[in-house]
Amino acid sequence: MKKHILGISFVLVATFISFMSVAKAEEFHWGFKPSRNGEPVEIGEPLESMLSKYGAIYKGNEEKKIVYLTFDNGYENGYTESILNTLREEKAPATFFLTGHYLTSATDLVKTMVKDGHIIGNHSYGHPNMARLSAEEMKKEWKRFDDKLNELTGVKRTYYARPPEGIFNEEVLKVGNEVGYRHMFWSIAFKDWLKDERRGAKYAYDALMNQLHPGAIILMHTVAQDNAEAIPQFIKDAKAQGYTFGSLDDLVLEYEKISPY
């Protein structure tokens, strides 16, 4: 009998350890089939339900020709000022998801973003794989970023988070909610994060225009010269097609069915 009980206990413990390993290892790498011909992006289940559960967003209203510009900034490469100038000239709002390194190494540019009315998003302080952190470690990453942002710019805190490299799990979304963050993903992206891989402005322009669809959240990286050169024409041509550019604040108000008035 003792041997039988010990055997059952061993199986239960082994099963529990196996389950915990799978649960801890579970992580999602954000990705989707790119939009074509203005069709909205779909990510399918179980991600649709998971994001909805925690108010995470990756696109806006599919019936409205509004798009949302977002940029991920881990380090500066000399092109952000040009992008900011374009956004100012075109009166296009954007959200910049920054890391701690960017805050401390490009503080003047961060202050310009804030002065120009752009939103600062939390891309974590140290750019780790958030899905492999404990809940407390996640909170420390976000808070350390917010504390430094407040110290350098006076902005009290961020409310939108984006996981480094688009890697996350349900716990990241859950813990984020607990401390006041809504995760923002994207529905348009292309390979533009390698600073030394020059493909030309046409490459970036075509990637944006070919994927353009109503409600799109666009992800770009400011390290790319291609982007800095393509954005002015992209914004003009998107406007010519009837698109307008909104902020993530506008998107959240619509998502929550809250009137701005």
Active-site residues: which are they?
Answer: 72, 221
In the structure encoding, which two tokens stand for residue 57, read together?
């967003």
Contact indicator for 261, 112 with CB cutoff of 8 Å = no
Phi, psi of 34 (to 5 degrees): -55, 145
Residues 123 and 142: their CA atoms lie apart, in Å, by: 8
Cβ-based burial of 74 (10 A; exposed 0-12, middle 13-18, buried ≥19): buried
β-strands 167-168, 28-29 pairing: antiparallel
Amino acid (1-letter code) at residue 112? T
Residues 88 and 100: their CA atoms lie apart, in Å, by: 25
Residues 199 and 195: their CA atoms lie apart, in Å, by: 11
Cα 162 to its chain centre, rounded Å, is 4
